[in-house]
Structure 1
Amino acid sequence: MNSAAPSPNSSRPPIPARLHDAPTAQGLAIPFLTLCHRGRTSPVWGAIDPERYALVLSLRLCQVCGEGLGSGQGPGQQAVVFVRPHDWVRGVGPEAGLHPECAAYSTRGCPMLAGRMPTYRSNAIAARITPCPDPECGCPQWIQPGPDSDEARRAGQPAEAWYSILIDARDYRIVPFQATESDPVTYGVELRGLRIRRLRKVRGTPGSGPTILDRLAAMLDLDRLTP
């Protein structure tokens, strides 16, 4: 999950072994998917690198560490997908998958998932048009996301409820879907027909009632308790 810079007063979770070689900023490992200036030590928190996003989806890579999620043929190969209730209803999620340990790190380090931010970061898109002083950086050529992109729609909006779904890696599939009339075809993680190993709420929204994913989680818990 790629949302925003950490709060200066927030605790920094320990970086897992899988991410020890990742570049860091403000005490956190920089996700593979995060847009960065040259050298990948100066991230634009909340902005997604479109080239890396395409690479992550096409090669089945973890959005945080950039390593393969596996084919699911080996023992214990699992993936985590972060979704919102309306993603589940639509049947496709825009968030690329993660290794379970990278997902656990994200739920603690990402201020959106950890519940430390009431709204999505609003200046991530504007930061794309502010070149850095490095003349060799490619930031002047960064492309702004379209107005109907998930990143653009989130900017400045109230935080949503987020859930993590643990699945077998063999069930992790990337599919095209129709988004809007102006952005007709995009790609995301298929949520239909998943064999869910675990579903849990990562963060809620104050004052809101149960969502479709809350009810699904309750049903799954009941199934596990029923002989």
Structure 2
Amino acid sequence: MTTPNIPNIPLQLAGRPTIGGLVVPWTTARTPDGRHRFGTVDLHRHNRALTDLLCQTCGAQLGARIVFAMRDSDLRLLTSPEPGMHPVCAAYSATACPMLAGRMNHYRTTSLAEQLADLGALSQGDPTSQRAGAPAEPWQLVWATGYRPFTNPLTHQLAALLLPDQILRVRPTEIPSSLNPGTKANPE
């Protein structure tokens, strides 16, 4: 298996903790023994980021341009379960995160909530566990001028509602495999 290149860390993220050369996002959950767990979300920080307009990656106040990482199914509903990011943080996340960059074609088979429950930790992320083992959806970066926090009736969790006139631009996060030599297609 070829290891993908680790992207350079932007100056804005230089003070964040790292694991394996990758920045740990501000909303990432920690296990009871203090370790960060990629792919899990701290519910308190997640909700604070959505309500206080904080970047999920660096934790700082968002500005006039907010970027959301949204699955195609979320984009159709104009709803992001993920807090927004600064453009610089979103560009880094789109290359560093294996799911956003398209280097993972399926979600983990065991839900993270189940894994963390065994450790005594609570997790935000896939509250219904419907994604466990499912094929990964394509992700888009959505530039917006704002959003409204609301409780998503499907998940009963805080999310961001974008209005059509708030959306400035949408582009896929995935790097085509022809341009990303570190990507290997997984046969089904």
Do both share a fold (TM > 0.5)? Answer: yes
- Evaluate the alpha carbon distance shift between residue 113 and residue 145 of structure 1 in structure 2; reply closer, same or farther with a 3 A threshold: closer
- Evaluate the alpha carbon distance shift between residue 103 and residue 144 of structure 1 in structure 2; reply closer, same or farther with a 3 A threshold: closer
Give yes or no for the alignment of 1:121 onto 2:108: yes
| Cα-to-partner distance string for 1:47-93 (whole Å, 9 max, x where unaligned) | 111111111112111111011113xxxxxx21101112221332322
TM-score normalised by structure 1 residue count = 0.68
Aligned equivalents of 2:73, 2:176: Cα separation in 1: 14
Aligned equivalents of 1:144, 1:103: Cα separation in 2: 22
- Evaluate the alpha carbon distance shift between residue 186 and residue 126 of structure 1 in structure 2; reply closer, same or farther with a 3 A threshold: closer
Q: CA-atom RMSD, angstroms?
A: 2.7
The answer to whether the Cα contact below 8 Å between 1:88 and 1:191 also exists between their aligned partners in 2 is no
Percent identical residues: 34
How far 1:115 sits from its partner (Å)? Answer: 1.1
Paired residue secondary structure (2:160): strand
Paired positions, count: 176
Relative contact order (C-alpha < 8 Å, sep 6+): which is higher? 2
What does residue 72 of structure 2 align with?
A: 85
Aligned equivalents of 1:69, 1:144: Cα separation in 2: 24
What is the aligned counterpart of 1:193 among 164, 185, 188? Answer: 164
TM-score normalised by structure 2 residue count = 0.81
What does residue 81 of structure 2 align with?
A: 94
Return structure 1 stretches of 4+ with deviation > 6 angstroms: none
Unaligned runs of 5+ in 2: 178-188
Unaligned runs of 5+ in 1: 1-6, 71-76, 132-139, 207-227
- Evaluate the alpha carbon distance shift between residue 130 and residue 187 of structure 1 in structure 2; reply closer, same or farther with a 3 A threshold: closer
Larger helix proportion of the pair: 1
| Residue type of the alignment partner of 1:21 | G
